[in-house]
C-alpha cells in the first residue's frame, strides 16, 4: 500500500512547535512520557484480553510474550527505540491520538500558552496540559511509530519530521504493541545536552523518573566476558509499587515522579496522603493534591482521577466510586486486598467494601487538608483557590452518606470577609473573633467581591462591628441556604429582613409612614412591602427578602443559565435618617409633589438594584429619569451656570 501524507490538526501543530522550540528545559522527561504511555498500553492489553480472550488465541504461534517495555539503541546512527508489547494502535487510533488533540480545553491552553510564552510561565503551563508523546520532538528531528493493534492483523508506520506533516503506511509487526523510533538530534554538549544513546544516561533517567513502573523496563547492556564483550538484557527499574513501600522509605522525588505518571501532570503536586489500612477491610494507596486545577475541572472530570488496583493489579483508571465528585481533583491510586479481580464499574457502585473505602478516604483527605491549613496556610490558600469551589460542592451534597462529612468540610472552608482584606478567613477564625452579643455567622452572596464589599446590606453589621463573610463563588449561592450550624452558630444571610435582631428606634426624625405607604403603592409591581428600617446608616434604602427561598443572586444565576424565573418580589427598607427619604417624605406631605415623588421612587428602587450589582429592568427609562433629575438640579443651581452659547 502507498504511503499517504497528512497534516497535523492546527492545534496539534501549535503544540508540536512549542515542543520543538523547547519551552521545557528538562529534555530528559521525553523518556518518562514514552515509558508512561507504554505502561498504560500494557495495562490496556491486560484488560482487553480479559474481555476478549480470543485475542490471545488468534495471535497463533507467536502468542503474546510477557509484558515488557524495551529500550534499545540503533546499531548505527543516532536512533533510540522505546518499544512495548501492549495494546497497540490501529490506523484510526494513530491519527486520532497522535495527529490531533481532541481534548477539551486545548483552545484555552494554547491561548494561555501564547500569552505566557515570553515569560517564565510557559513551562508550568505545559504541565497543566501534559503533551506526552509530543515531547519526543524535543530530542528527535524525526519520530516514527510502528504499531499493531491487539486483535488486528495489520500494522502501521507513522512518521513525522515534526514540521506539521506526517505519513502513514502499512507495516509489518510480529507482535501487537508499539515501537517509537527516535532519530535523535545531535546533543549540544555546550548547552549541557545529554546523549540519549549513552547507556548510563538512559539508566539514570529510568531510575529517576520511571522506577515504580510495574512492568520491567529492559535494555541490552554490554557485559565484559572472558571472550570480550557480550550484550545482556538488564531490567532497569525496581518495579516496586510505591504505595506498597513504607512511606518513610520513599523519597519526595520518587513520590513526585509517580504523581507525574498517574496524573499526567508535569508539575509537582501540592500535597499527598499515603495510607495503609489493615484489619477489617484492607487497602492501601496514595492520593495527591495537584497544584493546579485542570482547564476542564468544572465541566468534565479528566480521565486520570483515582486508579483502582486490586492486589497490585491495575483494574481501572478514574474509578469515580472511590471518591465523591467534590474530590474529583484528586489523583492517585487505591489498591484493595479484598475486592474480586473481575469487578466491573457497575458492581462497584453497589459494593459495600467500596463504600467503606470511600468513606475512609474522604476522612483521611479532609484530615490532611485540615493539617495543611494549620501547618502551611500559604500552601493551603493556593490549594483552596484552585479547588475550594469544588470542595464546597460537598456541602450541597444531599446524599446521606456524604452529609456526615459536612462538619469536617466546614472546618476546612475559607471565605473572604469584610475584615480579611485580600485574604481568607476560616469559619473557626470567624467564630473566635465574633463580638459579644453577635448571635450568628453573617454573610452576603453576590457575583463580584468588590460589589459585595460595598453592599448597603453590610451597613447593618458594620456599625456593630460584626464581620461578614462575602460569598462570591457561584456555588456559594447553592450551599449557603443549606448550611447547618457551625460550632453551634447559625448562618444568616444579610439579605434576609430578620437577619439581625430587631433594632431599637434611635432616631428623632419623624417616621416617614406616609412615604412608606405611598412607595408601597407605586412600587407594588416590583416590591412586596416597604418598611422603615433603623439599620441602614449610609444608604437611603436597600432590598431584602423575608423567606428562605431563592435569593436575588440565585435568581440571577438561574436566569443566566437560561431559566425562566418569575421575578422575586422583595422588601424595600428605607432609612428615615437619610436626607433623600426625609425630603421625599416632606415633599409628599406638602401636597402636590406626588408626580415627582413617584419618579424618585422608581429611581430609588433602581438604585437599590444597582448597588447590589444587579440589572435594572429598564435601563433606558432609568437613564431618562436620571437625566431629567440632573437637569432639574442644574436649573436649581441657577445663576451658577453661564447662559447657553457662552463658554462653548
Ligand atoms: P496522553 O498519554 O497524555 O494521553 P500522549 O500524547 O502521550 O497523551 O498519547 C496520546 C494517546 O496515544 C494515548 O492516550 C494513547 O491512547 C496513545 N498512545 C500513545 N503511546 C502509546 C503506546 N505506546 N501504545 C498504545 N497507545 C499509545
Question: pLDDT grade, residue 156 (50/70/90)?
Answer: very high
Residue nearest to atom 18 of ligand 1 (CA): 37
65-94 residue pLDDT tens: 899 999 999 877 799 999 999 999 999 998
* Closest to 336 measured CA to CA, from 280, 281, 288: 281
8 A C-beta contact, residue 237 and residue 219: no
For 541, the 3-state DSSP assignment is strand
Is pLDDT above 70 for 128? Answer: no
For 47, the 3-state DSSP assignment is helix
Q: Which three cell numbers stand for residue 596?
A: 415627582
DSSP secondary structure of 238-296: ----GGGS-GGGS-HHHHHHHHHHHHT-SSPPSEEEEEEE-SSS-EEEEEEE-SS--TT
8 A C-beta contact, residue 455 and residue 611: yes
Distance 163 CA to ligand 1 centre (A): 20
Distance 395 CA to ligand 1 centre (A): 37
pLDDT at 627: 93
pLDDT at 380: 98
Instruction: Determine the Cα–Cα distance for residues 65 and 423; give it in Å rounded to an integer.
Output: 58
Distance 379 CA to ligand 1 centre (A): 33
526-547 residue pLDDT tens: 898 999 987 788 899 998 887 6
Phi-psi region of 180 (alpha: psi -120 to 50; beta: other; left: phi over 0): beta
Is pLDDT above 80 for 303? Answer: no
Q: Which three cell numbers stand for residue 471?
A: 460569598
pLDDT (average), residues 38-59: 89
pLDDT (average), residues 166-181: 95
Instruction: Determine the Cα–Cα distance for residues 317 and 312; give it in Å rounded to an integer.
Output: 14
The ligand 1 atom nearest the CA atom of 87: 25
The ligand 1 atom nearest the CA atom of 38: 23
Is pLDDT above 90 for 126? Answer: no
8 A C-beta contact, residue 192 and residue 25: no
8 A C-beta contact, residue 541 and residue 581: yes
Ligand 1 pocket test target in 37, 82, 84, 94 with most atoms within 8 Å of CB: 37
Q: Is 372 in the pocket of ligand 1 (CB under 6 A)?
A: no
Residue nearest to atom 16 of ligand 1 (CA): 97
pLDDT at 400: 60
For the 4-235 domain, the top CATH level (class) is alpha beta
8 A C-beta contact, residue 284 and residue 250: no
pLDDT at 101: 61
At a CB cut-off of 8 Å and minimum separation 6, what does 271 contact?
A: 288, 289, 368, 372, 379, 383
Instruction: Determine the Cα–Cα distance for residues 300 and 293; give it in Å rounded to an integer.
Output: 12
6-33 residue pLDDT tens: 888 777 777 777 767 755 667 888 998 8
Could you give the residue range(s) of every CATH 1.20.120.790 domain in the chain? 513-545+567-636
At a CB cut-off of 8 Å and minimum separation 6, what does 625 contact?
A: 599, 602, 603
Interaxial angle between packed helices 513-522 and 594-611, expressed in degrees from 0 to 180 and rounded to the nearest 10: 80
Q: Is 178 in the pocket of ligand 1 (CB under 6 A)?
A: yes
pLDDT at 204: 92
pLDDT (average), residues 185-189: 89
Instruction: Determine the Cα–Cα distance for residues 430 and 561; give it in Å rounded to an integer.
Output: 33
For 320, the 3-state DSSP assignment is coil
Residue nearest to atom 13 of ligand 1 (CA): 97
Share of the chain above pLDDT 70, in %: 86
Q: Is 133 in the pocket of ligand 1 (CB under 6 A)?
A: yes
Q: Is 215 in the pocket of ligand 1 (CB under 6 A)?
A: no
For 191, the 3-state DSSP assignment is helix
Distance 252 CA to ligand 1 centre (A): 27
Chain centroid offset of residue 451 CA: 25
Distance 85 CA to ligand 1 centre (A): 14
pLDDT at 322: 93
Q: Is 89 in the pocket of ligand 1 (CB under 6 A)?
A: yes
At a CB cut-off of 8 Å and minimum separation 6, what does 439 contact?
A: 489, 490, 501
| Rg (alpha carbons) of the chain, rounded to whole number | 33
DSSP state of 458: G
Instruction: Determine the Cα–Cα distance for residues 644 and 648; give it in Å rounded to an integer.
Output: 8
Is pLDDT above 60 for 590? Answer: yes
Q: Is 86 in the pocket of ligand 1 (CB under 6 A)?
A: yes
477-531 residue pLDDT tens: 888 888 888 999 999 999 887 788 776 666 666 788 899 999 999 999 989 899 9
pLDDT at 547: 65
Q: How many Cα atoms are found within 13 Å in the side-chain-facing hemisphere of 206?
A: 25
The ligand 1 atom nearest the CA atom of 88: 25
Distance 15 CA to ligand 1 centre (A): 15
Is pLDDT above 60 for 113? Answer: yes
pLDDT at 216: 96
Distance 37 CA to ligand 1 centre (A): 5
pLDDT (average), residues 437-445: 92
Distance 262 CA to ligand 1 centre (A): 13
Residue nearest to atom 8 of ligand 1 (CA): 132
Instruction: Determine the Cα–Cα distance for residues 35 and 42; give it in Å rounded to an integer.
Output: 11
Q: Is 181 in the pocket of ligand 1 (CB under 6 A)?
A: no
Residue nearest to atom 17 of ligand 1 (CA): 97
8 A C-beta contact, residue 285 and residue 334: yes
Distance 132 CA to ligand 1 centre (A): 7
* Closest to 285 measured CA to CA, from 308, 268, 254: 308
Distance 414 CA to ligand 1 centre (A): 38
Distance 3 CA to ligand 1 centre (A): 23
Site of grid cell 459495600: 352
Q: What angle do CA 138, 140, 77 make, to 5 degrees?
A: 150
DSSP state of 486: B
Residue nearest to atom 15 of ligand 1 (CA): 97
Strands 440-445 and 490-493: parallel
Ligand 1 pocket test target in 42, 87, 97, 166 with most atoms within 8 Å of CB: 97
Q: Is 319 in the pocket of ligand 1 (CB under 6 A)?
A: no
8 A C-beta contact, residue 261 and residue 317: no
DSSP state of 469: E
Instruction: Determine the Cα–Cα distance for residues 576 and 456; give it in Å rounded to an integer.
Output: 15
Distance 50 CA to ligand 1 centre (A): 21
Q: Is 135 in the pocket of ligand 1 (CB under 6 A)?
A: no
Q: Please, which residues bridge with residue 273 across strands? A: 287
pLDDT at 606: 93
pLDDT at 61: 65
For 144, the 3-state DSSP assignment is strand
Q: Is 187 in the pocket of ligand 1 (CB under 6 A)?
A: no
Q: Which of 186-190, 211-215, 382-386, 586-590 has the highest mean pLDDT?
A: 382-386
Q: How many Cα atoms are found within 13 Å in the side-chain-facing hemisphere of 58?
A: 11
The ligand 1 atom nearest the CA atom of 134: 6
Residue nearest to atom 7 of ligand 1 (CA): 132
Q: What angle do CA 500, 505, 510 make, to 5 degrees?
A: 135
8 A C-beta contact, residue 582 and residue 640: no
Residue nearest to atom 12 of ligand 1 (CA): 97
pLDDT (average), residues 569-584: 90
Instruction: Determine the Cα–Cα distance for residues 571 and 458; give it in Å rounded to an integer.
Output: 16
Site of grid cell 570480550: 228
Distance 31 CA to ligand 1 centre (A): 13
DSSP secondary structure of 568-601: PPEEEEE-TTSHHHHHHHHHHHTSS-HHHHHHHH
Q: Is 37 in the pocket of ligand 1 (CB under 6 A)?
A: yes
Question: pLDDT grade, residue 298 (50/70/90)?
Answer: low
Q: Is 132 in the pocket of ligand 1 (CB under 6 A)?
A: yes
Q: What angle do CA 406, 408, 414 make, to 5 degrees?
A: 95
Could you give the residue range(s) of every CATH 3.30.565.10 domain in the chain? 4-235
pLDDT (average), residues 425-445: 94
Strand positions, DSSP E, 85-126: none
Instruction: Determine the Cα–Cα distance for residues 45 and 366; give it in Å rounded to an integer.
Output: 36
Say yes or no: domain 242-372 is CATH 3.20.10.10.
no
Q: Which of the following CATH numbers is that of domain 513-545+567-636: 3.40.920.10, 1.20.120.790, 3.10.180.10, 3.40.50.300?
A: 1.20.120.790
8 A C-beta contact, residue 214 and residue 333: no
Instruction: Determine the Cα–Cα distance for residues 168 and 182; give it in Å rounded to an integer.
Output: 16
pLDDT at 409: 95
Q: Is 146 in the pocket of ligand 1 (CB under 6 A)?
A: no
Q: How many Cα atoms are found within 13 Å in the side-chain-facing hemisphere of 467?
A: 21
pLDDT at 648: 47
At a CB cut-off of 8 Å and minimum separation 6, what does 564 contact?
A: none
Helix (H) / strand (E) containing 632: helix 619-637
Mean pLDDT of the residues in the chain: 86
Amino acid at each position: 500500500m502507498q504511503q499517504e501524507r497528512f497534516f497535523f490538526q492546527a492545534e496539534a501543530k501549535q503544540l508540536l512547535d512549542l515542543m520543538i522550540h523547547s519551552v521545557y528545559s528538562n529534555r530528559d522527561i521525553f523518556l518518562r512520557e514514552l515509558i508512561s504511555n507504554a505502561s498504560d498500553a500494557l495495562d490496556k492489553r491486560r484488560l482487553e484480553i480479559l474481555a476478549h480472550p480470543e485475542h490471545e488465541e488468534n495471535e497463533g504461534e507467536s502468542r503474546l510474550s510477557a509484558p515488557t517495555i524495551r529500550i534499545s539503541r540503533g546499531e548505527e546512527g543516532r536512533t533510540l527505540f522505546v518499544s512495548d508489547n501492549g495494546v497497540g494502535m490501529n490506523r484510526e487510533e494513530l491519527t486520532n491520538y497522535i495527529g490531533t488533540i481532541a481534548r477539551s480545553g486545548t483552545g484555552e491552553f494554547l491561548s494561555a500558552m501564547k500569552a505566557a510564552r515570553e515569560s517564565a510561565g510557559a513551562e508550568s503551563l505545559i504541565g497543566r496540559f501534559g503533551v506526552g508523546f509530543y515531547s519526543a520532538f524535543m530530542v528527535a528531528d524525526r519520530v516514527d511509530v510502528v504499531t499493531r493493534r491487539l486483535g488486528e492483523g495489520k500494522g502501521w508506520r507513522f512518521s513525522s519530521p515534526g514540521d506539521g506533516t506526517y505519513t502513514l503506511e502499512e507495516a509489518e509487526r510480529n507482535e501487537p504493541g508499539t515501537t517509537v523510533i527516535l532519530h535523535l538530534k545531535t546533543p549540544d554538549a555546550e548547552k549541557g545536552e545529554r546523549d540519549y544513546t549513552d547507556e548510563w544516561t538512559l539508566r539514570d533517567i529510568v531510575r529517576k523518573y520511571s522506577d515504580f513502573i510495574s512492568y520491567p523496563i529492559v535494555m541490552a547492556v554490554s557485559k565484559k566476558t572472558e571472550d570480550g564483550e557480550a550484550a545482556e538484557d538488564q531490567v532497569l527499574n525496581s518495579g516496586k509499587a510505591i504505595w506498597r513501600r513504607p512511606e518513610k522509605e520513599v523519597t519526595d522525588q520518587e513520590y513526585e515522579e509517580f504523581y507525574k505518571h498517574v496524573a499526567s501532570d508535569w508539575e509537582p503536586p501540592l500535597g499527598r496522603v499515603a495510607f495503609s489500612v489493615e484489619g477489617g477491610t484492607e487497602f492501601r494507596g496514595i492520593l495527591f493534591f495537584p497544584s493546579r486545577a485542570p482547564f476542564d475541572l468544572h465541566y468534565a472530570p479528566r480521565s486520570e482521577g483515582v486508579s483502582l488496583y486490586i492486589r497490585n493489579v491495575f483494574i481501572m483508571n478514574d474509578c469515580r466510586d472511590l471518591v465523591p465528585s467534590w474530590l474529583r481533583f484528586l489523583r492517585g491510586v487505591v489498591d484493595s486486598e479484598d475486592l474480586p479481580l473481575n469487578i466491573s464499574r457497575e458492581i462497584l457502585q453497589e459494593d459495600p467494601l467500596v463504600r467503606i473505602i470511600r468513606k475512609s478516604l474522604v476522612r483521611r483527605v479532609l484530615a490532611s487538608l485540615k493539617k495543611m491549613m494549620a501547618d502551611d496556610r500559604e500552601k493551603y490558600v493556593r490549594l483552596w483557590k484552585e479547588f475550594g469551589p469544588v470542595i464546597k460542592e460537598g456541602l450541597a451534597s444531599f446524599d446521606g452518606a456524604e452529609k456526615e462529612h459536612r462538619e469536617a468540610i466546614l472546618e476546612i472552608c475559607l471565605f473572604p470577609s469584610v475584615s480579611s482584606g485580600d485574604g481568607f478567613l476560616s469559619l473557626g477564625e470567624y467564630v473566635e473573633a465574633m463580638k459579644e452579643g453577635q448571635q450568628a455567622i453573617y454573610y452576603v452572596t453576590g457575583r463580584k467581591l468588590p460589589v459585595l464589599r460595598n453592599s448597603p446590606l453590610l451597613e447593618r453589621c458594620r456599625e456593630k462591628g460584626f464581620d461578614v463573610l462575602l460569598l462570591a463563588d457561584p456555588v456559594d449561592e447553592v450551599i449557603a441556604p443549606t448550611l447547618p450550624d457551625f460550632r453551634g452558630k447559625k448562618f444568616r444571610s444579610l439579605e434576609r429582613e430578620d437577619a439581625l435582631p430587631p433594632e431599637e428606634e434611635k432616631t428623632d426624625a419623624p417616621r416617614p409612614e406616609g412615604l412608606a405607604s405611598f412607595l408601597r403603592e407605586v412600587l407594588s409591581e416590583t416590591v412586596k412591602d416597604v418598611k422603615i428600617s433603623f439599620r441602614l446608616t449610609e444608604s437611603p434604602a436597600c432590598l431584602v427578602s423575608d423567606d428562605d427561598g431563592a435569593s436575588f443572586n440565585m435568581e440571577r444565576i438561574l436566569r443566566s443559565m437560561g431559566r425562566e424565573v418569575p421575578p422575586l418580589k422583595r422588601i424595600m427598607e428605607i432609612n428615615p435618617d437619610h436626607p433623600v427619604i426625609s425630603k421625599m417624605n416632606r415633599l409628599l406631605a406638602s401636597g402636590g409633589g406626588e408626580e415627582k415623588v413617584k419618579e424618585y421612587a422608581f429611581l430609588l428602587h433602581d438604585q437599590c438594584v444597582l448597588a447590589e450589582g444587579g440589572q435594572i429592568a429598564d435601563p433606558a427609562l432609568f437613564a431618562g429619569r436620571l437625566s431629567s433629575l440632573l437637569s432639574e438640579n442644574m436649573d436649581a443651581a441657577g445663576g451658577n451656570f453661564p447662559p447657553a452659547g457662552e463658554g462653548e
